[in-house]
Structure 1
Amino acid sequence: MQSNVPLTPFIIITVIAIAVISAGCTAPVPEPQVSPSMTPLPSQACDCPQLVFSDPEFAFELQRTLAAAYSGEADIGECLATASRIREGDFESWYTEWKKTADHFRHAGDASLAAGHNVSAREAYYRAATYYRTAEFFLHGNPSDPRIVDTWLDSRNAFRDALALDTVPYEIVAIPYGNTTLPGYFYKVDNSGIPRRLLIVQTGFDGCQEELHPYAMEGIRRGYNVLTFEGPGQGEVIRVQHIPFRADWENVIIPVVDYAAGRPDVRRDSITLWGISLGGYLAPRGAAYEPRIRALVADAGTYDIGQNLLEGMKRSGGPAANMTERELQEWLKSDPASFNSAIREMMAADTGTRWMNEQ
C-alpha cells in the first residue's frame, strides 16, 4: 500500500560524474568488425570516449568496467586485452571473451588461496566478479538463457569469496519485503556496535549491488556504515525471484529503512540514500515518502531518458526523424504496431537501443 507521508525537506545533491579514461597499447588493436546482422547508424551521439570500439554502447560498457580499476576490482591492461578480442557489436563475442577473462582470474584466485596467498586470491576474485558481471551484460535478449543466472552467480560467488578475505566487517542480509526478502550487504566501520551514520546505496536499471562495493568503501572510509540492496527489477530480485520494477519506489525504500532503523548500529537521525543511474530517479521518489531519510544523492547521470530515446529514433531516420516528443507519443497511441516496428528497426541498427529494449 502506498504511503501517504507528506513530502519533507531534505538535502538533494545531484552528482554528475564523468570519468574519462585514456590508455595506449603497444600492440596494434585489430580493426573492429561489424556483425553481419548489425548496420551501424551513420551518426552516433556518444558522451564517452570511443575506446577500442566505435560502437557507443560497447565503448561505454568497456569504460564502465575500466572504472572498477580505481578500486582494484578491474585492471586496465586486462580490460583492453579482452576488448581487443571482441567483434564489434557482437553480443555473443562480448560474452565469450569476458567470460574467458573472468574464468582465468577465478582459477587464479583459487590457486592463490590454495597456496595460502590470501591477498592475491582476494584481488583475483574481485576482478573475476567484475569480469563475469561484464560478460553477462548483453545476454538478456533471451530471458530464459541459462547463462544469465549462471554467469550472475559466478560473479556473486567470486565477489563473496573476495569479501571473505577482506578486512572490512560485513553481513549478508535479507530485508523483509512483502512476502519475500530483498538481498543486501551491510558493511561496517568496525564490529564495536556503536551507532553510526548510515549510507544506503542502490543501483539502477541494469546494475547489481556487488558493483556498488567501491561506493560502500568510500562511505566506510568516511565513518559511515553502509547498506546496499537490490529491489524489484534489479540483480537477484529479477533474475531469481522474477519480480519486475515498480514505479512506486517508496514501497521499496520504506521497508529498507524499516530494516536499517531497526539495527542498533544505525543512527536513526542520520540516514542518507544514494541512488545511482536509474536509481537516481527512483531514490527521490522513495525519499519523498520516507521522512527518516535526512539526505539524498540523486546520481542519475541522464537528465531525461525519454529525450535520449527520442534522439535515438531521430538518428535512425525513417518517420521518426523529424518528430517531436508529443508527436511520437501520439504515434504510439494511434498506431502502436507501426511504432513498435520502428523500434525494432532501431534495435537492428543501434546496439544501445537493442540492449535497452532487451534488458
Structure 2
Amino acid sequence: MVQVDGQETKVAARLTHKVFFERDDIEFTFQWLLSFAHCGGVAQGELFKLARQIDPNSITSWKNEFEQEAAKVEATAEQSLKKGHLISAGEAFIRAHSYYRAAFYGAFPDEPDFARYHGKSVECFKKALDAKSEQIPHEWVEVEYKGYKFPGCFLKAEHGNAPKPTIIFHNGGETHKEDTYFLGGQAAIDRGYNALIVDLPYDVCVRFYEPEATARNFPREELHNVYRATTDFVLARPDVDPERLVVSGMSYGGAKTMVHASCDDRFAAAVPNSPVYSMASFIERGMPSFLRGSAEEAAEQTKKMPYTGQVLFAASAWSHGFDSIAEWYHLAKEAIEVDPKDVKCPLLSMYSEAEHPEMQRQAIDTYEKAPNKKNAIFKGTEEDGADLHCQLNNLPLSYQVMFDWLDEVLDYNIQLQPAQ
C-alpha cells in the first residue's frame, strides 16, 4: 500500500501472503517468477539466492543481480549447446531468459537497459525452444496487418498437421509473449492443444518490433480489426481445428480476451482470467489518484510510488504511446469497453481472492451477464493456495480447472482421441 495524493492506493491488490520480501511490489514480482518453476523457467535455488543478495530498496541492485545470474546461466547454456547437449542447453537458456526478463522488470523505457534486457530475454527464449524442438514443436511466425508485422510463436500440440484445438493467448499488462509460454502455452501443448503466443497492439513489447503500433494508431475499430486478422491467421493453418478455437489471457489479457471474443464470433470458448470488460471503470475505482489533474500531475503522482510501480506505469504508458495513465484512460473508455452480453461463446470466468474488488466485481458480473448456458466461474482461494492475482501461486490448479472445462466444452481429450 502506498500513499498517493493523500489516499492509500494499490495498483492492484494482487497478493495476500509474503514468501520473502516485505515490500508488496517486489514480493509480487518474486512470486510471479516463482510460478515459472512449474515448467522450468527458474530454479528455486537460483531465485532464492538472488533474493538474499538483492537490496530491496535499490532498483539497481535488482537489475544487476538478475543480469549477472542471467549471463552466468546463459554461458552454461552455450557450453551445453556447443557440445550437443540440447536438452540441457534448452533448460539453461529458458532460465537465462527468465532472469533477463526479471532484470527488464526494473528498467524504464528511456534507459538503454530497457531494450537490451528485452533483446537478451527474447534471444535466450528462442534458443531454448529451438534446442528443445523435438520436445516442443513450434514455428516462429508473424501476424500481418496493414503492413505491420507482429511476431509470435505457434506452439504445436504435436509434429505434423492433424487439426487440433488451438488457443490464441493475449498478454497481460506486464506480460511478453515469452511469458505466456509459462502462463498457458506449455500447459496447452501438454494437453494436445496448439497455442499462439504473440505481441499485438496494446502489448508491452510490440513497439520493439513496430514502433508505430500504439493505442493512438489502434483505436477501438482498428484493435478489433487486428484481433480478427489474428484469428484469420490461425484459421488459415491446416493444423488448426476451426470448430475448437479458443481465446484466453491473464490480467490485462483477460480484458483483451473480452474484446476479442466480443468482436469475433469464431471462437468455441473464451477463458478470461480475470474478465475485465471495462478498463475505464477499473482505473476509476482502482487508481483514482492518477485521473486528477493534467498528464503532468498524473506523472508526478506516479513518482510517489515504489520503483517497480513506477516502472510498470512508465512501460504501460510507453507501450500504448502515451505519457501517463491519465491519457490512456480516455482511450480505454472506448477501446476496452465490452458488454458481456456480446460474448456469445461458452466462457469460463476466472479470478482470485486477492484481486482488486473491482476485478472481482467484473468477473462475477461477466459470468452472470454473458448469455451462454455452458458458462462457468472459478475463484482461486487462499484455502487452495491459489489466491494470488490470476492464481499465479498455483498455476497447476488454475490449468486443471481451465483445461478440464475446455475438454468438456469442446468435447476433446487428448487421451481419448483415436490414433492419427
Q: CA deviation at 1:179?
A: 1.3
Q: Pairwise mapping of residues 129-144 of structure 1 onto structure 2 (< 5 A)?
A: 129-140=97-108, 143-144=109-110
Contact 1:55 1:351 (C-alpha < 8 Å) held by counterparts: no
Distance (Å, rounded) in 1 between the aligned partners of 2:304 and 2:276:
23
Cα deviation code 1:121-170 (max 9, x no counterpart): 11110100011111111212xx2322212111111111111111212211
User: Secondary structure, in 3 states, of the residue corresponding to 1:157?
Assistant: helix
Higher relative CO (Cα under 8 Å, sequence separation at least 6) belongs to 1
Contact 1:276 1:299 (C-alpha < 8 Å) held by counterparts: yes
Which moves more between the two structures, 223-232 or 301-310?
301-310
Partner of 2:83: 115
Matched, 1:162 2:118: no
Partner of 1:264: 238
Partner of 2:20: 52
Q: Pairwise mapping of residues 76-115 of structure 1 onto structure 2 (< 5 A)?
A: 76-115=44-83
What is the aligned counterpart of 1:198 among 166, 170, 178? 166
Cα deviation code 1:8-64 (max 9, x no counterpart): xxxxxxxxxxxxxxxxxxxxxxxxxxxxxxxxx999766243333222111111111
What is the aligned counterpart of 1:348 among 304, 317, 329? 304
TM-score, normalization: structure 2? 0.65
Cα deviation code 1:155-192 (max 9, x no counterpart): 11111111112122110001111211111111112222
Cα deviation code 1:285-341 (max 9, x no counterpart): 11111111121111138798655775666xxxxxx6xxxxxxx86xx3xxx24x853
Task: Give percent identity, aligned residues only.
Answer: 24
Contact 2:302 2:313 (C-alpha < 8 Å) held by counterparts: no
Distance (Å, rounded) in 1 between the aligned partners of 2:246 and 2:227:
12
Distance (Å, rounded) in 1 between the aligned partners of 2:131 and 2:36:
19
Q: Pairwise mapping of residues 299-338 of structure 1 onto structure 2 (< 5 A)?
A: 299-300=273-274, 332=292, 336-337=293-294
Matched, 1:221 2:177: no
Distance (Å, rounded) in 1 between the aligned partners of 2:267 and 2:32:
29
Counterpart of 1:89, as a letter, is: N
Partner of 2:349: none
Contact 2:41 2:95 (C-alpha < 8 Å) held by counterparts: yes
Matched, 1:238 2:207: yes
Contact 2:9 2:286 (C-alpha < 8 Å) held by counterparts: no
TM-score, normalization: structure 1? 0.75
Which moves more between the two structures, 178-187 or 300-309?
300-309
Q: Tell me: CA distance 1:290–1:120, structure 2 relative to 1, closer, same or farther (3 Å).
A: same
Distance (Å, rounded) in 1 between the aligned partners of 2:205 and 2:309:
24
Q: Tell me: CA distance 1:129–1:148, structure 2 relative to 1, closer, same or farther (3 Å).
A: same
Q: Tell me: CA distance 1:48–1:109, structure 2 relative to 1, closer, same or farther (3 Å).
A: farther
**Greater share of helix:** 2
Distance (Å, rounded) in 2 between the aligned partners of 1:202 and 1:311:
22
Partner of 1:255: 229
Q: CA deviation at 1:272?
A: 0.1
Partner of 1:273: 247
Unmatched runs of 5 consecutive residues or more in structure 1: 1-40, 314-319, 321-327
Distance (Å, rounded) in 2 between the aligned partners of 1:273 and 1:194:
20
Which moves more between the two structures, 233-242 or 198-207?
233-242
Unmatched runs of 5 consecutive residues or more in structure 2: 1-6, 316-420
Q: What is the number of equivalent residue pairs in this alignment?
A: 298
Distance (Å, rounded) in 2 between the aligned partners of 1:303 and 1:250:
14
Partner of 1:152: 118
Partner of 1:4: none
User: Secondary structure, in 3 states, of the residue corresponding to 2:168?
Assistant: strand
Distance (Å, rounded) in 2 between the aligned partners of 1:176 and 1:76:
39
Contact 1:176 1:182 (C-alpha < 8 Å) held by counterparts: yes
Q: Tell me: CA distance 1:183–1:288, structure 2 relative to 1, closer, same or farther (3 Å).
A: same
List, as ranges, runs of 4+ consecutive aligned residues in structure 1 with deviation greater than 4 Å. Answer: 41-46, 301-313
